[in-house]
């Protein structure tokens, strides 16, 4: 017989993303709706190992967090949890509190840890995709991606004002060590002349050809969106090369950094997080485990964690193609 779930533990791990609080809220309130107790685990796997756990939360524990960025349960990365000893310590702590299922909100590393707990101790786990990178397989969008895009767009719109005033070339670096989703979507939405992402090779010759074509058509300024992990180099390295070899361009660099992780979550991210959080609780109560809740074609899907982790989604070439057409 499958043991009925009486208490769910919810936590966030890895990099924070706007909308995580909305997901926590959804897990807590839907658990109470279905008559299940819920515990909040602070600081991810680190807090799980140290017993930093809010034993019993109620519906008012998550009041007024829907509109807040970050995660009120806080997040952390843990090297110790990568060891069997660390995972044993974590499991003992949650077991002693009667937690018999977990909702893990995060990305690739978070889901890897949840999968190991399930395999080693049999505890049911469901992942909720919370990462601004939008690179998890099995969901069209991850929590935080939309808000991060809006933050970048606002910054680029402001940068364009000064770029036009001085006829400058701006290289705007956005997050994306392994994924070009933020760069691609914001590059298209902001009218960037070029988008440099990890998934596509780029070179000085290609960029110069685009910039010179813009000069020929009297383009008053140029903005290039650079994913921090693109194949050519980061924005600072690219700017150095341009300044050395193409002094005709007044080149400036803006690195947006961690402001992309913060801010008030967008309406889309709040709704996405709410739907995925409720789906996680309902999935556990329907005996699903070792899966991630995802949104595909506006419908909830349950994807095996193994697939969500193993298959890396990459930017659709169509987004880059359209951006190139419209950047003339």
The one catalytic residue in 52, 100, 133, 146 is: 133
Say how far apart CA 163 and CA 151 lie, in whole Å.
18
* Greatest alpha-carbon span in the chain: 74
Q: DSSP characters for 35-84?
A: T-EEEEETTHHHHHHHT-EES---GGGGTT-TT-SS-TT-----SGGGSH
Report the half-sphere exposure of 40 (CA within 13 A, side-chain side). 22
Order of strands, sheet of 222-227, starting from the edge strand that comes earlier in the sequence: 194-196, 222-227, 169-174, 251-255
Strands 7-12 and 291-296: unpaired
Place of tokens 């595909």: 296
Verify whether residue 313 is a known catalytic residue: no
Q: DSSP characters for 113-163?
A: HHHHHHHHH---EEEEEB-TT--BTT-S--BTHHHHHHHHHHHHHHHHHHH
Catalytic residues: 133
């Amino acid at each position: 017989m499958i043991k009925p779930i009486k208490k769910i533990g919810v936590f966030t791990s890895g990099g924070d993303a706007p909308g995580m609080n909305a997901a926590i809220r959804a897990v807590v309130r839907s658990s109470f709706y279905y008559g299940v107790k819920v515990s909040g685990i602070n600081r991810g796997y680190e807090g799980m190992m140290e017993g930093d756990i809010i034993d019993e939360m109620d519906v008012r524990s998550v009041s007024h967090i829907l509109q807040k960025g970050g995660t009120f349960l806080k997040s952390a990365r843990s090297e110790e949890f990568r060891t069997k000893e660390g995972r044993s310590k974590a499991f003992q702590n949650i077991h002693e509190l009667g937690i018999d299922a977990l909702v893990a909100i995060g990305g690739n590393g978070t889901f890897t840890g949840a999968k190991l707990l399930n395999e080693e101790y049999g505890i049911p786990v469901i992942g909720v995709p919370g990462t601004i990178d939008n690179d998890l397989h099995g969901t069209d969008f991850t929590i935080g991606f939309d808000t991060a895009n809006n933050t970048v767009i606002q910054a680029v719109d402001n940068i364009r004002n000064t770029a036009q005033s001085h006829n400058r070339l701006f290289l705007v670096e956005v997050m994306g060590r392994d994924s070009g989703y933020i760069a691609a979507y914001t590059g298209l939405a902001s009218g960037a002349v070029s988008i440099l992402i990890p998934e596509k090779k780029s070179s000085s010759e290609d960029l110069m050809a685009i910039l010179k074509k813009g000069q020929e058509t009297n383009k008053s300024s140029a903005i290039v969106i650079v994913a921090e992990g693109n194949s050519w180099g980061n924005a600072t390295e690219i700017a150095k090369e341009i300044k050395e070899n193409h002094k005709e361009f007044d080149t400036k660099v803006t690195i947006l950094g961690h402001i992309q992780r913060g801010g008030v979550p967008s309406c889309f991210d709040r709704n996405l997080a709410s739907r995925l959080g409720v789906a996680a609780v309902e999935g556990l109560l329907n005996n699903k485990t070792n899966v991630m809740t995802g949104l595909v074609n506006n419908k909830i899907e349950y994807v095996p964690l193994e697939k969500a982790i193993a298959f890396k989604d990459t930017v659709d070439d169509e987004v880059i193609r359209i951006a190139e057409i419209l950047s003339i």
